[in-house]
Amino acid sequence: MTDLHEALRDDVRMLGTSLGETIESHLGSEFLEKIENVRKLAKEGRSEEQPEHEELLKALHDLKEDDVLPLARAFTQFLNLANIAEEHHRVRRHLEVKDVCTPDSMCTLFAQLRQKGFGPKKIAQTLADTHIDLVLTAHPTEVNRRTLIQKYDDIADCLRRLDRGDTEAQQRLDELIRQIWHTDEIRQQRPTPVDEAKWGFAVIENSLWSAVPKFLRRLDAQLEETLGEKLPLDSSPIRFASWMGGDRDGNPNVTAKVTEEVLLLSRWMAANLYLNDIDALRAELSMYDASKELRERVGDAAEPYRALLSEVRERLKATKKWVNAQLKGEIPTCEPVYVHEEDLLEPLMLCHRSLQECGMSIIADSALEDIIRRIACFGLTLVKLDIRQSSDRHAQVFEELAQFYGLGSYNGWSEEGRQNFLLKELQSRRPLFPKGWTPSAEVQEVIDTCQVVANAEKSALGSYVISMASHPSDVLAVILLLREMGISHNMRVVPLFETLNDLDNARDCIDALLKVDWYKAYTEGEQEVMIGYSDSSKDAGQLAAAWGQFKAQEGLTQLCKDHGVHLTLFHGRGGTVGRGGGPSHTAILAQPPGSVDHSLRLTEQGEMIRFKYGMPDLAVRNLELCTGAVLEATLDPAPGPEESWREQMSSMTVRSLEGYRSIVREDPMFVPYFRAATPEQELAKLPLGSRPAKRRQDGGVESLRAIPWIFAWTQIRLMLPAWLGSDHALEDALDAKSAALVKEMYQRWPFFKSTIDMLEMVLAKSDRKLSAYYDERLVSQELGILGSSLRERLGNMVGLINEIKDQDGLLKDHPVIRQSIDVRNPYIDPLHFLQAELLHRDRNQPDQRLEQALMVTMAGISAGMRNTG
């Protein structure tokens, strides 16, 4: 282990040296000395002997104006390079273990389930029946440009080559670091929704395309080694979906035309990747022995496998041509193309059977099986596209229709009236839309989107998610619109419950929906519900939101059981704790018992996609962890909370909610303080994603999206959304003779343990002194009183976590994470001090060069913190 950590230090040192040489060759040795001096002073400022940063602040103050941007860039790029080294090291540590069955591998889980009485066939069948959708979303939390991400991936590849002794990799690595230094970190323009979708496809092409068959192969090997069972070739417990190009909630840039283009691009990309695979496979399968079944198909061809694969190749080429024509707005030719994945799978399975029958199983089990397993996971579209839209946009369609028909105001009708109207129309044979009706542009856009969805293949689509859904009519309205547009299947229409009030009412809403006989028949026994983590946390604070989510899931699980309907919960989790983030496998195991029943959907957002799935070996590891957690939660869930824990949790969340909202909603100083102390306003200048930062441009904090809300607090290291309110709740509980009960909850209840552990992780990244410096530079004396009070509460919160965990410092049981944070701080500190100064100048004397430097500090702090929103 020591050797491995030494290897990480060596990698970081090597990357830092190469970056230093690059900077020196560009800006000279004098400037490099300034950087080194700043780094040294930042490190000294963190030492106990010199806890203040006076010398560092003086050095930064003495910088020439022209030095500010390159200094910010130097520290930002070092932090990005350190991230690459850490990610590579995680892979290296995992690969050092040669045995397939390690203590945290699937083999160990299979063995544990056996010991608990689950038979091999039961475990294997449960795994085969598991349906996990990882939903890639384009939430604007990925700061780095796609151009730079590709270069970072290439650096990781160089590190792998160097580990294998390839000395030529060093030259390529130095070249890449020079390319990065001479490339702008910040995009000049916001990405379009199509750009975001292409970025998602690139993650699949560059990493997941190779990771998925490797993951499934390992899963199959571990299943066979431990239980003597096999994973069916056409089975993949994990598939991918996407919101990129489908999520139009509050994003006017995602239009029906965009969605149509993204659906076509995903088919083109899939056909292209399969074509490359088939070409490579065709080169491999030169054998002449073939089964009778294959001979009947290809005749007396000298190379039967190649003959059959030539047909597949031509059809894939035709599919690409067909998609291209549609993208150009041309009429496609009538050549046969691949529409259903079974059509692509059939000739490959025929080859597989023939090879096995002819004694060539080893050949069958290689590249051919990899393609078959890719089809099981990626289908013909790589991802299934979800659609998301707000309920009020669908209601607007019926409002205008009702006005046209002289029926009054649809929005003014009772819920019963709306349901009766929608159900009557759903069962009517006449068209819903009259010929002489001219809808508004907003309504026409909703109709056009439903038309695009109706025209798409069932296999290309995931769920239609309705945000701000609170009534059965919200769901029925979407089904009616899709039916009117001619959809040929019963698409999953999924209400999203995202505020605390919505979560509290979720059970009653779904109950009312399932009591509608027509709708219950429509579900075909499957109900999906989405739980929103980001907005509920912003609405109520982390602790109250977490408990609200837990109770909603409990209620929905029991309700669907009572109705005889299978429930799939869709968890809309972010990358940070303030948005429901944290390790996915821990969160899955902390769900209410019975709520994970063979199926789960989970969002993977922004920069977390790259951190978890950007390297094939890391992707394999994360896919295994997720699959194992779902299998365990399905077969052997943790018991639910004891009544005393439930009562304590309810009591704490009442106090937590009060402590959170008394500041965020009721303190008149809060919004002015937030705007002054954080770079919230300036974040809008950072071209992160295609979606506007606010739902309404004239709104306050309540209209701010959850991501910039978290991003702003992360930048000043106060981390307020993750802990505000929890401090008062835990303080009261530990002071009110409940300390033993709270500690028992932490030891024995996975949900509460997960909540406290994730909170601890965030607190370890907080820094009261840095936050105080932002106040000193940016906040009036009057508003500073609130800042000082919040920092005092943050300090108390740290003490409360340590008390619950019986420790004298944060992350005592996670020394590697603690060390990672401590090593990064001296490189992040100068960026914080620079940022505070640049914010001060930007607000008083705006300057374009300084604005660029300000954006670079935001990117650097995000890289150092390993997350944004």
Q: Determine which one of 53, 88, 139, 805 is catalytic.
A: 139
Tokens of 310: 């030539």
CA distance linking residue 304 with residue 578, whole number of Å? 58
At residue 326, φ and ψ (nearest 5 deg) are -65, -35
CA distance linking residue 583 with residue 621, whole number of Å? 12
Q: By three-state DSSP, how is residue 716 classified? A: coil
Do residues 332 and 325 lie in contact, with contact meaning Cβ atoms separated by under 8 Å? yes
Pairing mode of beta strands 131-137, 566-572: unpaired
H or E segment at 781?
A: helix 781-804
Tokens of 602: 């989970």
CA distance linking residue 180 with residue 188, whole number of Å? 16
Do residues 713 and 673 lie in contact, with contact meaning Cβ atoms separated by under 8 Å? no
Q: Determine which one of 34, 53, 471, 538 is catalytic.
A: 538
* Amino acid letter for position 590: A
Helices (H) and strands (E) counted in the chain, each on its own, are: 39, 8
Closest CA to 578 of 162, 836, 865: 865
CA distance linking residue 18 with residue 176, whole number of Å? 10
Supply the DSSP string of 593-636, one letter for each residue: TTS-SSEEEEEEETHHHHHHHSSHHHHHHHHHHHHHHHHHHHHS
Tokens of 269: 């990309």
Tell me, yes or no, if 538 is annotated catalytic.
Answer: yes
Q: By three-state DSSP, how is residue 387 classified? A: strand
Tokens of 525: 């026994």
CA distance linking residue 137 with residue 77, whole number of Å? 25
CA distance linking residue 778 with residue 413, whole number of Å? 50
Tell me, yes or no, if 317 is annotated catalytic.
Answer: no
Q: By three-state DSSP, how is residue 453 classified? A: helix
CA distance linking residue 390 with residue 405, whole number of Å? 24
Q: How many residues does the chain have?
A: 869
Q: 10 Å Cβ neighbour count for 575? A: 27
H or E segment at 467?
A: strand 461-467
Q: What is the largest CA-CA distance in the chain?
A: 90
CA distance linking residue 525 with residue 528, whole number of Å? 10
CA distance linking residue 383 with residue 394, whole number of Å? 25
Q: Helix 168-181 crosses helix 146-163 at what angle (to 10 degrees)?
A: 160
H or E segment at 134?
A: strand 131-137
CA distance linking residue 846 with residue 856, whole number of Å? 16
Q: By three-state DSSP, how is residue 156 classified? A: helix
* Amino acid letter for position 22: T
Closest CA to 863 of 610, 616, 689: 610
Tell me which residues are annotated as active site.
139, 538
